[in-house]
Amino acid sequence: MPRYADTLLSDGERIALRTRQHWFATVVDGRVPWAIFILALALLVLRLGMNGNGPLEQGLGIVLLGLLAVSLAMLGRLYWSWWAQDYIVTNRRVLKVEGILNKRSADSSLEKINDAVLEQNLFGRIFGYGDLDILTAAETSVDRYRMLDQAPSFKKVMLDQKYLLESELVRIPGPPLRAPGTGGRPMASDEVTRALGELASLRDRGAITPEEFDAKKAELLARL
């Protein structure tokens, strides 16, 4: 059964890297339920070692069992939420999907990414996680990936895919070269067909807008 993020991929879009938060994030985010679990378990062990089985001791045991169950439920939800994460680099965008039942997805097109700032502390370098900020050309944060697993590889793959996409964009046919009194160099029909096919592929991948495609198409047809 495909994961939810796989259903969001468009035709021709392929995954270059898939990851999520590092497992250590579940320990950091789960400090409270872990503390409740450890405390309730320790007190329950002490209660079992106590003499007497009066109403007070029985009530204390029930309370401790309840706290233990609540903490386990909280930890279960936390780990389920962690497992449901998908942080993906494709050949077109960076995609972030979170949520168990109610899903939230956000993406950034590779050609709109200006830079990425990676921060790793000592433990991050040891265990391979870090915080990654993706920046636009306006130098505003698009999204923050906190305690991202494989953070250095994620940044490298993202920038590599951005370079490959920009290399394809360079091959987009430019506007006609116009000479005085002419409409520019005429093109053969097979050249126009090939150029239109490349433009259509870029439009379908989201690299150019439909408006840009129509403008380029009109320019190419004018050169027949």
Q: What is the pLDDT of residues 205-214, one digit of tens each?
A: 666 777 777 8
Delimit the domains of the chain by residue range.
4-21+85-170, 26-82, 171-224
User: For position 177, what pLDDT does the model report?
Assistant: 43
Cα-atom radius of gyration of the chain, to the nearest Å?
Answer: 27
Q: What is the pLDDT of residues 123-133, one digit of tens each?
A: 999 999 999 99
Decide if 116 contacts 151 (C-beta within 8 A): no
Best CA proximity match to 3, nearest among 75, 107, 88? 88
* 3-state SS class at 114: strand
CATH code for the domain defined by 4-21+85-170: 2.30.29.30
Distance CA 17, CA 13 (A): 12
Q: What is the pLDDT of residues 21-35, one digit of tens each?
A: 999 999 999 999 999
Burial 158-175 (b: 16+ CB within 10 A, else e): beebbeebeeeeeeebee
The whole-number average pLDDT for the span 161-186 is: 61
150: left (phi over 0), alpha (psi -120 to 50) or beta: left
Q: What is the pLDDT of residues 132-154, one digit of tens each?
A: 998 876 555 568 899 999 999 99
